[in-house]
Amino acid sequence: MNQKKSIWIFVAVTGLLGACETPEIRKQRLLLRGNEALEHQSYAEAIRLYAAALDIDSCYAEALNNWGTTLHRQKDYAQAAEKYSRALMCKPDYVNAWLNRANTWFEMKQYERSLHDAQAVLKLADTVPAYFISGIACAAMGRHEEAKQWFRRVLMRQQENAEAAVNLAIAMYYRMEYDSAEQVLAALLQQQPDEAEAWNTRGMVALAMAAWDDAIGYFNTALRLKDNAWYLNNRGYAWLMKGNYNLALSDINESLARDPQNAWAYRNKGIYYLLTGEPASAVRLLEQAAAMDERVEDVYAWLAEAHAKAGNITEACRYARLSAERGERKKAMADC
């Protein structure tokens, strides 16, 4: 399941009037012009202007922060983190830079660092974005009980925050608290019926409860609201569980065509081959899914079953043990 959100904050400067162009005013004007360029997605120009401001003041934290945001928008996360770090060296109590770096660490899958920076924010200011980043970082590390508490704190401050409610339901899903997740999602959708991610997550909860028809209905609603490769893949899995293999393969292949980096789709295509009697192809795709993203659900259990059907009992038992150690929902079917 896709569980993340990008949060970035840049600093605007307004009200710069007066004829006397002191260095302070010049650097602020350059910052303002850089911000305008950033808003117009003129990234090279924004960087040029921030660099010019830093020529005046090499420790101008706001310019460093906004330069980092320019890089973040271009998905140059490593360089963005470096700029945020420089901003924090210049201004250690700079909440925006802490938040931005926390989000950048998250994008780099450095979840412990992301959580650390979010917690640093909370020592300086009681702010909802820090709660949210703490929640998604904990969730990414599999610490779903902690994640639940952070998302609840968001919702205590912002009751209509759909993203926090969906992420709370996802944390409950991973904790196998399906009834609670369904209650959260039903309440959210009663107030915000056009929230596509909530319908998708409700479909995942229905799948976990083996309510295949309900799941397909929820995924259909999600897709009607938002044409999304992940939703298609999830519906493909529901079709697999119902035994409608042609519909399943169509959805999974379309999902992969749109997003070839979705490890869950490779898992589902592997399951398709397993269920249609091609265990060797299933093993190849399932191992690819596991290599792409270790968080793919139940992949070891499916690998155990695929290896067993291919006659590779040693590998089947190895994956069955890995599945048990990870606490996967699906019970590995291998005679070990």
Q: Both 250 and 282 in a single domain?
A: yes
Is 137 contained in some domain? no
Q: Could you read off the pLDDT tens digit of each residue along the chain, which spans 336 residues? A: 555 444 455 555 444 444 567 999 999 999 999 999 999 999 999 999 999 999 999 999 999 999 999 999 999 999 999 999 999 999 999 999 999 999 999 999 999 999 999 999 999 999 999 999 999 999 999 999 999 999 999 999 999 999 999 999 999 999 999 999 999 999 999 999 999 999 999 999 999 999 999 999 999 999 999 999 999 999 999 999 999 999 999 999 999 999 999 999 999 999 999 999 999 999 999 999 999 998 899 999 999 999 999 999 999 999 999 999 998 988 877 677
Q: Are residues 193 and 213 in the same domain?
A: yes
In a domain, 136, yes or no: no
Joined together, the tokens standing for residue 148 give: 């639940």
Q: What is the widest separation between alpha-carbon atoms in the chain?
A: 83
CA dist., res. 275 & res. 225, Å (int): 31
Domain containing 112 equals: 1-121
**Six-digit token pair at 43?**
């990234």
Q: Is residue 127 part of a domain?
A: no
* Residue 130 forms part of a structural domain: no
Q: How many domains does the chain have?
A: 3
Same domain flag for 284 and 193: no
pTM for the complete prediction?
0.88
C-alpha distances (whole Å) from 276 to each of 100, 139, 174, 257, 270 are 47, 34, 28, 21, 10
Structure tokens at 179: 């009834």
Are 264 and 334 contained in the same domain? Answer: yes
Residue 135 forms part of a structural domain: no
Note whether residue 129 is domain-resident: no
- Contact of 305 with 333, CB cutoff 8 Å: yes
208 and 146 co-located in one domain: yes
**CA 268 to mean position of chain CA atoms:** 20
Domain of residue 220, CATH code: 1.25.40.10
Q: Tell me the backbone φ, ψ of residue 264, rounded to 5 degrees.
A: -65, -35
